[in-house]
C-alpha cells in the first residue's frame, strides 16, 4: 500500500473509506493519514499497562476475595 518495502493489503471498500476520511480530515495524502492512524493506535497500546499489573493493583481491594 505504501513504500519502504512493506505493503499492506486492504479491501477496496476500506481503501475508499480511508481516501474519503483522509480528505475530510485534511491530510495531504492517504499515506500520511494511514501512518498517523497507526502511530496513534500503537502509542495507545504501548502505553497500556500489562494485564498482570492491572490485576495486581486491584487485588488489594478488600471488597474482592
Partner 1 sequence: MSVPRGEGSPHRSRRIPIALLALAALVALAGTAEAQTSARGAARFDRVIVLGIDGVDYRLLRQWIDDGRLPNFRRLAGLGDFKPLQTSMPPQSPVAWSNFITGLDSGGHGIFDFIHRDPRTLLPFSSMSEVKPPAQTTKFLGIKLPNHIRLPGSDHLLPLAGGTTENLRQGKPFWKTLGEHGVPTVIQRAPVNFPPLETERGRALSGMGTPDVQGTLGTYAYYTDAPPPGYESFSGGKIFPVDVYDGKVEARLFGPPNDFIDYDRIQRRTGVRVAYQDRKASVPFTVYVDAENPVAKVVIDGKEILLEQGVFSPWVEVNFHLLPTPGFIRWAWHDLVGVTGMVRFYLKETHPDFGLYVTPVQISPMHPALPISSPDEYAPDLAEAIGPFYTQGLPEDTKALDRDVFTNDDFMKQAGLVVDDENRMAQYELERFRSGFLFLYFSVIDQIGHAMWRTMRGQETHPAHRSGIDDPYADVYVGIYEELDGMVGRALEHVDDRTCLIVMSDHGFSSWRRAFDLNRWLLDNGYLALKPGTAPSSVSYLQGVDWNNTRLYAIGINGLYVNQLGRERYGIVPPGPQKADLLREVASKLEAEVDPTNGERPILKVFLNSEIYSGPLAAQGPDAQVGYNRGYRASDESAVGEVTDAVLSDNRRRWSGDHCQDYREVPGVILANLPIRTREPALTDMAPSILTLFGVPVPEVMKGTPIF
| Stretch binding partner 1 (CB under 8 A), from 8-16, 21-29, 30-38, 46-54 | 46-54
Q: Is 27 in contact with 40 (CB distance < 8 Å)?
A: no
- Which range, of 4-12, 15-23, 24-32, 39-47, touches partner 1 by CB under 8 A? 39-47
Question: Would you say how long the chain is, in residues?
Answer: 65
Q: The C-alpha cell of 62 is what?
A: 478488600
Name the nearest CA neighbour of 34 among 47, 15, 6: 15
Considering CB under 8 A, how many residues would be counted as binding partner 1? 20
Based on the shown chain and the rule CB under 8 A, indicate whether residue 28 belongs to the binding site for partner 1: no
Q: How far is the CB of 39 from partner 1 (least distance, A)?
A: 9
**C-alpha closest to that of 18 among 43, 35, 39:** 35
Binding site for partner 1 (CB under 8 A): 44, 46-48, 50-65
Amino acid at each position: 500500500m505504501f513504500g519502504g518495502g512493506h505493503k499492506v493489503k486492504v479491501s477496496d471498500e476500506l481503501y475508499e473509506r480511508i481516501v474519503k476520511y483522509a480528505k475530510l480530515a485534511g491530510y495531504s495524502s492517504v499515506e500520511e493519514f494511514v501512518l498517523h492512524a497507526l502511530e496513534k493506535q500503537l502509542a495507545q497500546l504501548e502505553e497500556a499497562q500489562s494485564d498482570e499489573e492491572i490485576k495486581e493493583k486491584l487485588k488489594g481491594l478488600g471488597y474482592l476475595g
